[in-house]
């Protein structure tokens, strides 16, 4: 039985549970419970505060966990990382009042900066050769300038609307973060085996999230040209249509290149293009 620690309630919770479900793992989730055992996979889920997850995994109380890189690196436990998970993307940024003139990072020399991430901030300022006073506070960092606690803040930003509504502007990006899977370095061979199985499933889900299955009709004399435009795992599947002179082509495209490819294959003569999501992808 492998124990995974995930955030009990917060920005990581829902997507962490979704990922486990998409791996075909079933469990009963009650918001009152601190742990739950999965019914069809040797996994037990522990629900914790995100800040406690790296420590619990490092100490072996949990075997693996899902946490933001911002918390993991702040706690100096980056080496526990096993896999990036691609959700809860955000950044740790420095911000100052909107009306302040800001030309470079050196404007922060001698200033007071409020943050919940003193280690990440100090490493960034040291690397830039800036000396500032760091005030560590645990929450509501964005109000520090308006109450006179600090001249600047260093906090997590995702849409940027919290900064705007507090009259602040983002001036430096300190650290980029996303959710990661972490694991204790000292797992028994049995637990390592379960982790390998889970990772195999996670990777299949991750790959599928980035890919789309594409089906299109092509005149037979355009198959070669259109096939060259379609990236695929091996070569695209070509099936004859009932109408003579036409074939159906099937392939997989990456979400990032998607619109560019569609434009090109349309121009090359593709018709009846269908794009469908992929649930799992094993290569």
Which residues are at the interface with ligand PRT (CB under 6 A)?
Answer: 7, 10-12, 49-51, 68, 70-71, 88, 90, 155-162, 177
> Of residues 11-30, which lie at the interface with Zn ion (CB under 5 A)?
none
Q: Which is nearer to Zn ion, 62 or 132 (CB)?
A: 62
Does 51 engage in binding with Zn ion (CB under 5 A)?
A: yes
Residue 237: what are its φ and ψ, rounded to 5°?
-80, 135
Residues 12, 50, 177, 247: which binds Zn ion (CB under 5 A)?
50
CB of 256 to ligand PRT, least distance (A): 21
CB of 47 to ligand PRT, least distance (A): 9
CB of 52 to Zn ion, least distance (A): 8
C-alpha 50/C-alpha 212 separation (Å) is 33
Indicate the length of the chain as a whole number. 283
CB of 217 to Zn ion, least distance (A): 52
Kindly give, in sequence order, each residue whose CB lies less than 8 Å from that of residue 253, ignoring residues fewer than 6 positions away: 211, 212, 214, 230, 231, 261, 275
184's contact among ligand PRT, Zn ion, none, with CB below 5 to 8 A by partner kind, is none
Does 52 engage in binding with Zn ion (CB under 5 A)?
A: no
DSSP state of 8: S
Q: Which is nearer to ligand PRT, 49 or 266 (CB)?
A: 49
Q: Which is nearer to ligand PRT, 7 or 251 (CB)?
A: 7
C-alpha 72/C-alpha 85 separation (Å) is 14
CB of 1 to ligand PRT, least distance (A): 24
68's contact among Zn ion, ligand PRT, none, with CB below 5 to 8 A by partner kind, is ligand PRT
- Residue showing the smallest CB distance to ligand PRT in the complex: 68
Burial class (CB in 10 A: 0-12, 13-18, 19+), 141: buried
Place of tokens 């706690």: 75
C-alpha 248/C-alpha 71 separation (Å) is 49
C-alpha 105/C-alpha 172 separation (Å) is 7
Convert residues 178-207 into a mask of x (bound to Zn ion by CB under 5 A) and - (unbound): ------------------------------
**Buried b vs exposed e over 10-49: b needs ≥16 C-beta within 10 Å?**
ebbbebbbebbebbebebeeeeeeeeeebeebebbbbbbe
CB of 162 to ligand PRT, least distance (A): 3
63's contact among ligand PRT, Zn ion, none, with CB below 5 to 8 A by partner kind, is none
C-alpha 280/C-alpha 211 separation (Å) is 10
DSSP state of 167: T
Does 74 engage in binding with Zn ion (CB under 5 A)?
A: no
Contact 93, 115 (CB under 8 A): no
CB of 156 to Zn ion, least distance (A): 10
Contact 134, 126 (CB under 8 A): no
Question: Could you list the residues that contact Zn ion (CB under 5 A)?
Answer: 50-51
């Amino acid at each position: 039985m492998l124990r995974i620690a995930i955030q009990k309630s917060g920005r990581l919770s829902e997507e962490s549970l979704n990922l486990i479900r998409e791996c075909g793992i079933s469990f009963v989730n009650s918001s009152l419970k601190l742990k739950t055992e999965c019914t069809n996979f040797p996994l037990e889920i522990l629900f914790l505060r995100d800040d406690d997850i790296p420590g619990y995994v490092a100490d072996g109380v949990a075997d693996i966990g899902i946490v933001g890189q911002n918390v993991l690196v702040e706690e100096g436990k980056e080496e526990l990382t096993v896999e990036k998970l691609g959700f809860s993307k955000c950044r740790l940024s420095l911000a100052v009042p909107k009306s302040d003139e800001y030309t470079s990072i050196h404007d922060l020399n001698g200033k007071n900066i409020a943050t919940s991430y003193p280690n990440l901030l100090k490493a960034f300022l040291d690397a830039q050769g800036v000396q500032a006073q760091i005030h560590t506070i645990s929450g509501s960092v964005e109000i520090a300038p308006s109450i006179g606690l600090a001249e600047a803040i260093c906090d997590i930003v995702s849409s940027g609307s919290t900064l705007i509504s507090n009259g602040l502007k983002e001036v430096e990006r300190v650290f980029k973060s996303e959710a990661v899977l972490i694991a204790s370095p000292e797992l028994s061979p049995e637990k390592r085996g379960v982790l390998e199985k889970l990772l195999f499933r996670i990777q299949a889900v991750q790959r599928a999230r980035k890919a789309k299955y594409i089906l299109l009709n092509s005149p037979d004399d355009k198959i070669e040209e259109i096939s060259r435009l379609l990236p695929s795992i091996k070569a695209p599947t070509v099936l004859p249509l009932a109408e003579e002179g036409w074939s159906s082509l099937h392939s997989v495209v990456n979400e990032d290149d998607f619109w560019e490819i569609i434009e090109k294959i349309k121009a090359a003569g593709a018709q009846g293009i269908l794009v469908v999501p992929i649930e799992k992808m094993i290569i």
